Structure formats: structure tokens, C-alpha cells
Amino acid sequence: MSAHAKTRIVGAPVHRKEGVDKLMGRARYVDDMEREGMWHGATVRSTIPRGLICSIEFDRRIDWSEFAVVTAADIPGHNHIHLIFADQPCLADGKVNHCDEAIVLLAHPDKHKVREAVGAVKIEYEPLPPVFTMEESERQKVVVWGANNLLKSFSLEKGDVESAWASAARIVEGEYRTGAQEHLYIENNGMIAEYSAGTGVTVWGSLQCPFYVHKSLMAIFDLPEDKVRVIQTETGGAFGGKEDYPSTIGAHAALLAMKSGHPVKLVYDRMEDLAATTKRHPSRIRHRTAVDASGKLLAMDIDLATDGGAYSTLSSTVLSRATLHAPGPYVCPNVRVRSHAWATNTVPYGAFRGFGAPQAIFAIERHMDEIAAAIGMDPVDLRRRNFLHDGDTTATEQVMREPVILDHLLDRALAESNYSAKRREFARENKTNPVKRGMGIAAFYHGSGFTGSGERYLNSLAGIDVTAEDKVRVLVSSTEFGQGTNTILTQIAAEALGVEYEDVEMAPPDTGVVPNSGPTVASRTSMVVGGLIERACKQLVATLQQGAGLGESFAREAFFAACVRLRRAKGEVVSLCRYEAPPGIFWDDKKYRGEAYPAFAWSIQVAQVAVDTVTYSAEVEEFWAVQEVGRVLNPVLAGGQIEGGIAQGIGYALYEKVLLQNGHMANNQMTNYIMPTAEDVPPIHATFVEIPFVHGAYGAKGIGELPHDGPAPAILNAIRDAVGVSFTSIPLLPEDLFARLAVRAPVEETVTI
């Protein structure tokens, strides 16, 4: 099996493929690009959360003949953003369903003039009653989406939950809430578009999934495949925030290009990006759990609700992943998960690293500590008693066929963090110290790749070609946005072909050049797309050996010489592979039963937290993460994924609050939406235990999302350990700590003289 083979380049800390360009400041992000005769675009957005559009007036003090003006009436094809359902308009037509919904687009040669002109478009509305919370939405008194506000629901059932309550030694209930989280990629969303009747639409921009944008543009412009071209520019962070939104901004830029007859650049500033683009789904998750006297889980009844915002976008798939991660990495004979995504009149919530799993894992991992407290058991022992092992079945009755080594990961994490000794030491010190310290853990898995039958539907195609200049090119639509796609796929190709890392380059991420290897999401690039590249390379080597005189073992020069011979004979040297599901995969979409994921990555995280009972600030002092992600393809990049994900998870737990006022994000600036800085992120110790996965590229599984799943519960568990108070909601800000921990000042007694 290649997964266990000794490798030259896979597993080595080779330098980031596009690293030098980024370090020299010459990498070209969308806002660094100009096109000849380019105009600038801007967006007029709704100022109310829900209502009918009565009129659109243009202030006569402005000479509108200098501008291109686009409304829904200008859309040549379908007025919707193609994703899962077709409910989200590209431009609001007659009604709006959330604040900051795009209604009118403007373009002008001068970027300052176009921004000023936004305020000169006056829109009159007839307001309709809005719904802002999932509780209001599920009451259905006001229906704002479909027949009943329900975007999606799932029901997952294993065993018979109802049979377990009577025999339980203890039943523990809890409700857990998570807030919205902004991606805060440092590069805002942006696109440049060109249009001509002959060649159709071309867009360049900051995005994750070129073919999502491609498909959406085809519908909006009613154009065939070959008349739409999408090219990814260097992308300054995404984290899921550039999964679906680029389809919207790309269409907007393209409509302006069509109307103006000029290339148009549409780049948001930070305030617009924060107000108008997607965030992580807020959630409310209720657990009811039966345990026996020894702490063994007997039944888990989980009710999971998410706020999806005004349109369905990715809410159904986020809810799916939340549902499948809700029971945690534990064995339980009776499990029921009922989940619902509700519509509200806010900007649609979307994909964000973890994709529903961080919400679900926050709830179960906080709840495990509550169960432990209820039965007087150590939280570590409770987890250990219930961990999944090889051969066990999950809540979807997926059999764990690969090694599951949670006990080992836990042992390592406890040893490296010196967990037990620190807990004892802190318990002693906390009695007299106004700064209370505690240790908390989280145990979890993250499913790699698309859920259930998803990878089969994607039907990804990827491969390589070899140019006449002796360069191997990786042909994928999988994009680089910091996470390392370029480097990892190049390493895999170089390894599999027996050439050097420098011999391989990435083909341009351009839908006119590369095949559709699926979206760059769901921790699937290394494992799934990398696997296709490995296969395509081995297929090419076999072809060269069979038909171009390449020997059994060969040097790099012999490989390229054989490619020259093959090109002479066939005209090109190209090898493509299509996805094939690993054998024995079964998934029932209706019953939510079967192999939920082809592989799972596993992790134990430990947080050391200090709560200052004078200032009510909570600070993460140190953090440990031990994980099994299959084979580590590049230790520097893998470490960077873990550390970066943990930093975002710390922000999710303790810093980042999206404040909505009348459905509009009120703190839509970096001044008041606070992420962890260089002084806030603690020392992070990431340790990998490698068990190569037989169906992943050189043994790789998914890694990118895993680290974001654990910090919030680990931190709040540590706070419970430190101060003895359970917090069940994030973000947990100093004012929230104050509200529960502050000792009320004694009432002053009236003094009579």
C-alpha cells in the first residue's frame, strides 16, 4: 500500500509553492489587478430586514448617464444564485428578506464617485414583520420562508431512546448555544468581470470554488458552459466564507460589465463585507442523556436547531454535518438526533470551517463535563469509558473499520499538558488567588470529505499533464487560499511520478483550463483530490511504461524523455482520473444511516485557562492538541492548519460576537468585531499521531476543519474547572463572566444618627 511506503517528497517540509511570491509582495490578489478601461462597481443595499420595494428613485443632482445602473430587470437569465435550492435572488426583485440585500448595482469609471452615488439611490419600502431569532421562526406566527420557515430538517435514530430512560441511573439535560462567527479573512470579497457578446462572461476573483461560480453565472446569464469562464486570483483567506458568496458578487460584477460595456471591478470594503456576507450559523442544542451508575452512556436524545438566515444557501448541508457530529466520538446504543434549520430575516449564514461540527461538538463536549459532574466522575474517565473503538458503530451505524486510537491520543494529551498535576496545583492555588486557573478537554472527530453520498454526486475529475517544456502541471479546480493546496498536490504529483518538487506546477485555476475536481471545502482536498492526483500520476507512469519505453525503475530524465515520445505519438501527455467511492460504502440519505464519511480525523485538545476575578477576563494560557489525521503530507503546513484553526476556535469561544440590530450587523468593523491578536493567542502545542488511511493520498485524511471543533468546549470546560460555574453559551465575554461570577455588593444599611 502506498500509504505505508517510504517517500521522498510527501511528508517533507518543502516550502510553500507560491510562498516567494507572497513574501515578495508580488502575488496578485484581485484588488491588485487592473483591466484596460476598467470601471468600478458598488452595491445599493436594503436598509430594512423585510418588506416590499415600492420605488427606486435616483437623485437628480447626479448625472446618471455617466453610470451603469443594474437592477433585477437587467438579468438575462434566472434571477437566482444557483446552489442547492433556487430561493436566493441575485438582486432583490420587489421585496427584500434581509438588511444589506443587494437591490441596485452601480458602475462608474471613478471608484470614489460610484461609492458616493450609492447614497443617492433612494428606495421606498412597505415594511413587513421580520423574524430575528430561531425561536420566533419555529413558532411560525410570522412565516418568512416557504410554508413554515423550515429550511431543512433531519432525523437520525439508532436503537430506541425511549426504552432507556427508565433504567438510567441518572438523566442529565442541558441546553447549549453558539453565536454567529465572522470569517474575517483579511482580504475582503472582490471580483473583476468582463463581458462580450462573442466570448460571454469572464470573472477573476477571490474564491474557493470556481465551478460553483461558473454554474451560477450560466443560469444568471442563460449562457452555455463555454461562454462562462471563472478564474481564481490569489485569495487572501476564505475559511468557507468564499464558498458560496463569490457566486453573488461575481454575478454582480458581470452584470455591471455587461451593462457598462467595460470591465468592472467590484471589491467590498471591510464594513460592507462584514454586513453583507455570510457567517457561521448560530445554534441551540439540547441534550438529554441517560447514563448508568458507571458512567456508561445508555441513551442520547439531541435536539439541534440552527439559524439559517433569510435564504437556504448551504444551511441544509451545514445542518447535516452538525447532525452527524452531534453525538460526539462515543458509543451509545440508543441515539436520536432531531435537527432543524430555521429561516430568519438576517444575512444568510453559510459555510465556515467546521461546517456545523463546531456547534455540535461545543454542545456534546460541554455536556460530557456536565454529566461527569452530575455523577461525580472525572470528565476524563467519563470520556474514556464511552470512547468509540475499532469495530464499534456510530450513531448512523457506521462500523469503525479503521483504527480508532482515542485512548492513545488522550494519554498523549494528558501527559503533554501535565493535566492531572496541573489540576491539583490549580485547585490548591485557586483558594487564595484572585486569578483562578483550570484545565479543560475536548474529544472529537471530524468527518473528512463530503457527507454520505456527496462525493459520488460530485463525481470529481482531476489529473496532470506534461508540457513540452518538461513541466508537470496539476489540473484541478481545487484552489489555494492559504491552506496549502498548491504545495500538497504538487508534492503528491512529484512523489508519484518520481520527479522533483520543482518539476511540478499548478495549472491556472481557470475553468477554461482545468477539470472540475469539486469544491475546495469539507477537508477533502488532500484526501480526495490528492488521491485522484496520485492515481492519475500512477496511470501516466503505467502508460509510459507500456507504450513509451519507460523502464520499471527510472530516473527523472528518463520520465521526461518518455513523455516526449508519448507526445510525439499521441499529441499530448495528459492523465485524468474520476472519483471512485471506496469499496463497501453504503449510505441511506432518507434514514441517515450508513457510512457518513469515508474517514474520520480524531483529536483531543486541552486548554489551560485563567479567569481573573477582578477584571472578569478569561485568558487561554496554553493549549495542546493531539490529533490523528492519517499521514501528514507536510509537517509545516499541517502544524499551521492546526494552530490557525485553534486560534479561530479561541476567538469563537472568548472574543468574537456578531451584534445584530434590527437584523443588521452593528459591529461591522475590525474596531469592534474582535479577533485574537498576537498577544492573545497562547503557546499552542500540536502533536500528530500518524495512521495512514488506505484510501487517501499517501495515507492522508482531512485536516483543515478539525482544529476549530474543539477549542470552545475545552475552554469553557476549563473555566468550569477554574471557577466551578458552568457556562453554556459562546461567545463568553467578560460581561457574561461578570454577570454570573460577580459577588453583589452588600446593600448599604441606613445609618440613623
Partner 1 sequence: MSATWPTIELAVNGETRRVQAAPMKRLLDVLREDLGLTGAKEGCGEGECGSCSVRMNGELVNSCLVPVLQAQGACVETVEGLAQDGELHPLQEAFLHCGGAQCGICTPGMLMAATQLLAQNPHPTIAEVREGLAGNLCRCTGFKRIFDSVLSAATQTTEPAHKAAHAR
677 binding partner 1? (CB under 8 A): yes
Neighbours of 593 (CB within 10 A): 18
Q: What is the largest CA-CA distance in the chain?
A: 111
Window of 143-151, 216-224, 229-237, 367-375 that interacts with partner 1 by CB under 8 A: 229-237
Cell of 202: 469572464
Binding track, positions 610-649, relative to partner 1; x by CB under 8 A? --------------------------xx-xx--xxxxxx-
Residue of 4, 26, 139, 591 interacting with partner 1 (CB under 8 A): 26
Strand partners of residue 290? 171, 299
C-alpha cell recorded at residue 35: 483591466
Q: Which is nearer to partner 1, 368 or 625 (CB)?
A: 625
The amino acid at residue 385 is: R
Nearest-angstrom CA–CA distance, 106 and 677? 36
| Of 1, 678, 745, 753, the one binding partner 1 by CB under 8 A | 678
Verify binding: residue 481, partner 1, rule CB under 8 A.
yes
By CB under 8 A, tell whether 484 contacts partner 1.
Answer: yes
| Binding flag, residue 659, partner 1 (CB under 8 A) | no
Task: Pick from 669, 725, 739, 742 the residue near partner 1 by CB under 8 A.
Answer: 669
| Rounded Cα distance, 327 and 301, in Å | 9
Find the binder of partner 1 among 101, 234, 243, 495 (CB under 8 A): 234
β-pairing, 51-58 vs 121-127, is: antiparallel
| Least distance to partner 1, CB of residue 65, Å | 19
Q: Where does this chain touch partner 1 (CB under 8 A) — which range of 90-98, 168-176, 233-241, 447-455? A: 233-241
Q: Which three cell numbers stand for residue 155?
A: 432525523
By CB under 8 A, is residue 684 in contact with partner 1? Answer: yes
CA distances in angstroms from 556 to 5, 15, 496, 499, 573, listed in the order given: 19, 21, 12, 5, 16
In this chain, which of 55, 546, 671, 750 binds partner 1, going by CB under 8 A?
671
In the block, residue with C-alpha cell 439540547? 286
For residue 237, state whether it binds partner 1 (rule: CB under 8 A).
Answer: yes
Q: Are 483 and 449 in contact (CB under 8 A)?
A: no
Does 226 engage in binding with partner 1 (CB under 8 A)? no
Q: Is the dihedral of CA 687, 690, 696, 700 positive or negative?
A: positive
Q: Would you say 563 or 653 has its CB closer to partner 1?
A: 653
Contact call for residues 67 and 106 (beta carbons, < 8 A): yes
Per rule CB under 8 A, is residue 19 in the interface with partner 1? yes
Q: CB of residue 449 vs partner 1: minimum separation in angstroms?
A: 22
66 binds partner 1 (CB under 8 A): no
Q: What is the end-to-end Cα distance of the chain in Å, rounded?
A: 91
**Closer to partner 1 by Cβ: residue 241 or 713:** 241
* Closer CB to partner 1, 196 or 669, in the complex: 669
Give the interface segment with partner 1, choosing from 1-9, 228-236, 471-479, 727-735 (CB under 8 A). Answer: 228-236
Q: Does 376 bind partner 1 (CB under 8 A)?
A: no
Window 181-220: contact mask with partner 1 (x via CB under 8 A): --xxxxxx--------------------------------
The whole-angstrom separation of Cα 236 and Cα 68 is: 29
Contact 298, 333 (CB under 8 A): yes
**Residue 171: all three cell numbers together:** 438523566
Q: Which residue type, as a one-letter code, is found at position 249?
A: I
- With a CB cutoff of 8 Å and minimum separation 6, the contacts of 180 are 279, 280, 281, 282, 307, 349, 658, 660
Asked if residue 675 binds partner 1 (CB under 8 A), the reply is yes
Task: Provide the mask over 325-364, with x wherever binding to partner 1 is found by CB under 8 A and - wherever it is not.
Answer: ----------------------------------------
Size of site (CB under 8 A) for partner 1: 55
Report the alpha-carbon distance of residue 13 to residue 11 in Å, rounded.
7
Among 22, 95, 412, 422, binds partner 1 (CB under 8 A): 22
| Contacts (CB under 8 A) with partner 1, residues 539-578 | none
Return the amino acid letter for 138.
E
DSSP SS3 for 155? strand
Site string (86-125) toward partner 1, x via CB under 8 A: ----------------------------------------
What is the smallest separation between the CB atom of 99 and partner 1, expressed in angstroms? 21
Measured CA to CA, the distance from residue 306 to residue 341 in angstroms comes to: 5
Q: Among residues 400 and 674, whose Cβ is nearest to partner 1? A: 674
Torsion angle in degrees (nearest 10) through CA of 371, 374, 377, 381: 0
245 binds partner 1 (CB under 8 A): no
Name the minimum Å distance from CB 669 to partner 1. Answer: 6
Residue 533 CA to residue 547 CA, distance in Å, equals: 21
- Residue 465 as a binder of partner 1 (CB under 8 A): the answer is no
279 binds partner 1 (CB under 8 A): no
Burial of 177 (0-12, 13-18, 19+ CB in 10 A): middle
Alpha-carbon gap, residue 363 to 727, rounded angstroms: 11
Beta strands in 523-563 (DSSP E): none
- Site residues for partner 1 per CB under 8 A: 13, 15-16, 18-29, 31-32, 183-188, 234-239, 269-270, 481-484, 636-637, 639-640, 643-648, 669-671, 675, 677-679, 681, 683-684
